Every structure is written in C-alpha cells, then in structure tokens.
Amino acid sequence: MKQICVVGVGYVGLVTAACFADLGNRVTALDVNEQRVENLKKGIMPIYEPGLDELVKRNVNAGRITFTTSYKEALKDAEYAFIAVGTPSGESGEADLQYVAAAATSIAREMTAPLIIINKSTVPIGTGDWVADIVKKSQPKPIEFAVVSCPEFLREGSAIADFTSPHRTVIGSMDKDAANKVAHLHLPLRAPIVITDLRTAEMIKYASNAFLATKISFMNELADLCELAGADVKEVAAGMGYDARIGRHFLDAGLGWGGSCFPKDVEALAFMAKEKGLNPRILNDVMQVNNDRRKNAVVHIEKMLGGNLKGKTIGLLGLAFKPNTDDMRYAPSIDISEALTKAGAKVRVYDPVAMEVARPLLPGSVEMFKNSYDLAAGCDALMVITEWNEFKQLDLEKIKGLLKSPIIYDGRNIYDPQLMKEMGFTYRAVGR
Ligand SMILES: NC(=O)c1ccc[n+]([C@@H]2O[C@H](COP(=O)([O-])OP(=O)(O)OC[C@H]3O[C@@H](n4cnc5c(N)ncnc54)[C@H](O)[C@@H]3O)[C@@H](O)[C@H]2O)c1
C-alpha cells in the first residue's frame, strides 16, 4: 500500500485515483473545483465514463479514496503526487501550462516530507525540468523531491480498462531511484515498462498521439479518393489492417478526430517544431485534412438536399466527439451544427449522454430530443455524427416513415450502403 495524492479529478485524474485505490493504495484526490469535490463526496461523478461510478463508490466505501480541495490535507503522508490537470491549447496553439504551474506551486508550498511528483498531464518537452524549477523556487524550506514524467495513454470511453491494462507504462526521470519507485507502483498493471529520461518520456506521448491522428487523416484523405475512384474505404481499411506493420486500429474514415487530446496535442507538437525553427509539414497537413472533414460533411448534406439548406430540418445523431463519453471538446457536432444553422437549416440533436455538456456549446436555436425516433420525426435528413452503438441497430423502416424525406448522411460508416439503397434511402457514407 502506498500513500498517493492525485491533483485534478477530470477524465485522467479521477480514473488514476480510482484505479490506484482499487489496487489497494490509499489515495487522496484533489481538485480546485469545489463543486466537483462536493459532488464526489456525495457520490456524483463529474464526468461520464463507463464503470467509473461503481469503481469510485467501491473504493470510497473501502476507505481507500477520499476527496478534498486542500493541498495540505492531500499531501499529508503522501509519497507520490500525480499531476493530472488540463493542458489546453493556448492562443497560438502552444500548450497552456498555467494549471500545471499552479499545481506545482501549491504542491511545493504544502509538501512537508520528501515527495515524488509525477506528471500525468500531456506537457511540452522540457516541462518536467520547468516543474522542478517551480517547486524548488516555491518551497518555503528545501525538502527533497523528484519529478517524474508518466504520460497517460487512456482513451475516454474505455478509460478504466486502458488504465488497468495499458500497452506500456512510460516513465521518464533524471532520478533513477524515483523512476524505479514509480515503476514499482505500476507493476500490478503488468505492462512493459519503458524507463527513459524526462524529455524523451514527454515526447513519447506527443509522438504517439500525433501518429494516431496521422493514421486517421491519411484514411480520410484516401476516403475522398475512394469515393471518386469507386473503391470502398471500409474494406480498404480491413484489407490493410491485417498487415501487422500497419495494424487495424485508427484506420476508420469519417468525420475526423476531435476530443480533448488529438487536436491540442498535434497543434502543440507543431508549435514546438516551429519554435525550434522547423517546418512541421506533415503535422500541418494532418490538421488541415481533419478540419476539412467537418466542412465536407455540410457540403454533402447540402447536395443531398438539392443544394439549399435554408428552412430544412436536419437531425444530428450523436454529439460527443466519440461514443461512450460525454466529452464535447472539439467535437465535430459543434462545427457542423454551427455551419448548418448559418446556412439557414433548423438543427435538431440527440445524444445518449452528452446533451447536458453540449447545450452551452451549440447554437441557441438547436433543439434537443430524448431519442432517435422523436428526433427523426419531421426531419428532412439525418446525419450520423457519433457512432454510438444504439444507432447501429435502429429500426430504419420506422425512421424512414418518420422522416419527411428518407435522406441519411452517415459520417461514421455505420450502415451498409447496399442495404440502405434497397430500403429506399438516399444514403451517403464516407469513402464508399
Ligand atoms: N482526457 C483524456 O482522454 C486524456 C488522455 C490522456 C492524457 N490526457 C491529458 O491529461 C491531462 C488532463 O486531462 P483531462 O481530460 O483529465 O482534463 P480535465 O479538464 O477533465 O480535468 C482537469 C481537472 O484539473 C482540475 N484542476 C485545474 N487546475 C488545478 C489545480 N491547480 N489544482 C487542482 N486541480 C486543478 C480541474 O478543475 C479539472 O477537474 C491533460 O494534459 C490531457 O492532455 C487526457
């Protein structure tokens, strides 16, 4: 059993805290957001993540996890302090490190015993050294500490399984003893452990995310060619994926990537390259291809509706940037509903879990519905925006009867084009 403090109870922090508690450690999870902490004390989760509610409650009941807004309380007896605060995009695309700086400063002021500070947030190369500097300067009196980078690779929607069965654990530090202790903490996860220096660990995280984003943008560029050349990108992906050098993951063409990580991380990596005088050509194109997906979707639905969106009612199936999460950060649904509204269309939406989070992010005129069928009733067309499972087995005959015209733009390739045609839909998918 170790004594652990986790700073930040968002998607990464809360999962980290709950999973380490479940492994038998004693965890204090801290956040500056009082509402979040109050809710957690009452058993209300701040985010939607499958299985999290149950995991947190089990460990609260076992006395292994507590929540606080006080650094003093959270650091009392702590041997390890994980930083898991947000690192959003700054004005020029750089990673905004204000939350990391604030967390490091607070830790330095309140720590009373030697501590290993482990950074889980995705941060630019060199941030670990910078954090060490902040801690040193902010300590009222010198207390021994080490800074370790341990980037997180979990995916929202499968965060608990990803955390507990990672492909690898990356640990970076200039302090070998601290790196070994952090490795020991992760041993129960039984994943290969890569121990390296701080900067390399920080780079591994950016490189991994940028590479995965590149795979998706590559397939999206290919999808456009497939459409014109008469090939099916879904089958192309399946055929490519059997090659172990390529792998099947992240080959799905569609509306592109969104969420809290890829957009800001690709941008931040490009920013770092530019700062060093390099021209990040691939990264720039990867972002451009991705941004174009959203615009293309609107162009396609406009064509399907006879070239004019004015006065048309369009239903969006799904809002979250991907299924099994309520995360709306950089979700395609935001840009698409804005563009449709701007073109004079009436936009209706339905998402199984993201409606509440989405409300303030969508144009005020957007109408929200409680299920796919109520949404479809009276619509001129539907657009599949998020590939939630419940959309895959909709009663499409019923949907056809409810729509004013049987038009579906499938931005996530969840339906069979042949079947849709046979059912009498005017159907368009991506790259097929
Ligand atoms: N979300 C993901 O899927 C994911 C996956 C891997 C890595 N990451 C990285 O992990 C980091 C956290 O991401 P997230 O999605 O969990 O963020 P989030 O926005 O969901 O949560 C961040 C939390 O930190 C809190 N916070 C901010 N400043 C604080 C401070 N000074 N002290 C204490 N708490 C503070 C916020 O109130 C918030 O609750 C980011 O760097 C992100 O890039 C995220």
Which contacts qualify for 185-191: CB closer than 8 Å, 24 or more apart? Answer: 185/2, 185/4, 185/20, 185/25, 185/80, 186/150, 188/23, 189/163, 189/164, 189/165, 190/165, 191/165, 191/166, 191/167
Residues 292 and 403 in one domain: yes
For residue 240, tell me if it sits in a domain.
no
Q: What is the pLDDT, as a whole number, of residue 1?
A: 86
Q: Is 202 near ligand 1, meaning CB less than 6 Å away?
A: no
Q: What is the dihedral of CA 54, 320, 84, 175, to 10 degrees?
A: 110
* 197 Cα: distance to centroid of ligand 1 (angstroms): 23
With cut-offs at 50, 70 and 90, classify the pLDDT of residue 115: very high
407 and 286 housed in the same domain: yes
Evaluate whether residue 256 is within a structural domain: no
Domain co-membership, 177 together with 271: no
How far, in Å, CA of 126 to CA of 82, rounded?
Answer: 18
Among residues 175, 196, 217, which one ends one of the domains? 196
Residues 192 and 269 in one domain: no
Q: Is the CB of 318 under 6 A from ligand 1?
A: no
Same domain, 272 and 394: yes
Ligand 1 nearest atom to the CA of residue 156, by list position: 3
- Ligand 1 contact, 328 CB (< 6 A): no
DSSP secondary structure string for all residues of 86-114? ---B-TTS-B--HHHHHHHHHHHHH--S-
Cβ–Cβ under 8 Å, residues 9 and 85: no
Assign residue 15 the CATH number of its domain. 3.40.50.720
Same domain? 158 vs 302? no
What is the distance in A from the centroid of ligand 1 to the CA of 296?
31
Q: Is the CB of 324 under 6 A from ligand 1?
A: no
- Ligand 1 centre to CA of 8 (Å) is 6
184-233 pLDDT, tens digit per residue, is 999 999 999 999 999 999 999 999 999 999 999 999 999 999 999 999 99
Tokens 């050509």, residue located: 281
Task: Tell whether 134 and 12 lie within a shared domain.
Answer: yes
Residue type at 292 in one-letter notation: D
Phi and psi based region of residue 318 (left: phi greater than 0; alpha: psi -120 to 50; beta: remaining): left
The two tokens of residue 154 are 């979990």
| Ligand 1 atom 10: residue of nearest CA | 121
Q: What is the pLDDT of residue 165?
A: 97
Domain termination site, one of 141, 166, 196 = 196
Residue at 218 is within a domain:
no
The yes-or-no answer on residue 379 being catalytic is: no
- Same structural domain for residues 320 and 416? yes
In a domain, residue 247? The reply is no
CB of 102 sitting under 6 A from ligand 1: yes
> pLDDT of 6-19, one tens digit each?
999 999 999 999 99
**Is 205 a domain residue?**
no
Total domain count, the chain: 2
pLDDT interval class at 358 (50, 70, 90): very high
Asked whether residue 360 is assigned to any structural domain, the reply reads yes
End-of-domain residue from the set 173, 196, 219: 196
In a domain, 144, yes or no: yes
Residue at 254 is within a domain = no
Token readout for 126 is 């060199």
What is the model's pLDDT at position 240?
Answer: 98
pLDDT tens-digit readout, 363-418: 999 999 999 999 999 999 999 999 999 999 999 999 999 999 999 999 999 999 99
**Domain range for 47:** 3-196
Same domain (yes/no): 191, 266: no
